[in-house]
Amino acid sequence: MLDEYSHAVIRAVEQVSPSVVTFHVYKRARPRGANGSREIRAGTGSGFLFTPDGFILTNSHVINGAGRVEETLAGQNVPLHRRLVRYHGLPDDSAILVVAVEDGSPAQRSGLVEGNLIVVFDGRPVAGIDDLHRLLTDARVGVPSQVTILRGTEKLNLPLTPTEGRRG
């Protein structure tokens, strides 16, 4: 059982999670012994939609020195009904709500649609967006994987091969 403070924190997280933004930061780098430079992904970070017109707030170290920054809204962490968790034997009582699917993306090609709930990626439980971010490293790019979702009350396994984000 959770105390009132824990419930208040959960409510606050549920309210603000749709405003979380993920940043992919790119910089120019010159490989050793090479002429010229190329763009490399230098890191990731997060921020928050701060105003209704789309102003984003983040720490300066997240984007400092970036040649280019891509930002995307993260999925939303949502609780799952206990009956659904028990029925499907799910490892967690929360999932990631797919809030949008980009045209031509690996997610779209796999069959993911807005409203799906992601519960497992490549055999590992994902209770929230942070779990998925930890799993989607550069080492996963181009590696065939499987994503387990809930669509309504149906549990589906979809093939998914992560790719680099679109440039420019």
Each residue's pLDDT tens digit, 48-105: 777 666 677 777 777 787 877 766 665 677 788 888 899 999 989 988 888 777 778 8
Q: What predicted TM-score, i.e. pTM, was given to this entire model?
A: 0.58
- Non-local (6+) Cβ contacts of 99 within 8 A are 18, 73, 75, 76, 114
- Compute CA 32 distance to the chain's CA centroid, rounded to the nearest angstrom: 33
Q: What is the pLDDT of residue 73?
A: 61
* Domains along the chain with CATH numbers: 1-74 (2.40.10.10), 75-168 (2.30.42.10)
How many Å apart are CA 96 and CA 116, to the nearest integer?
8
Q: How far, in Å, CA of 155 to CA of 41, rounded? A: 34
CA-closest candidate to residue 96, choices 83, 112, 82 = 112
Helix (H) or strand (E) holding 148: strand 145-151
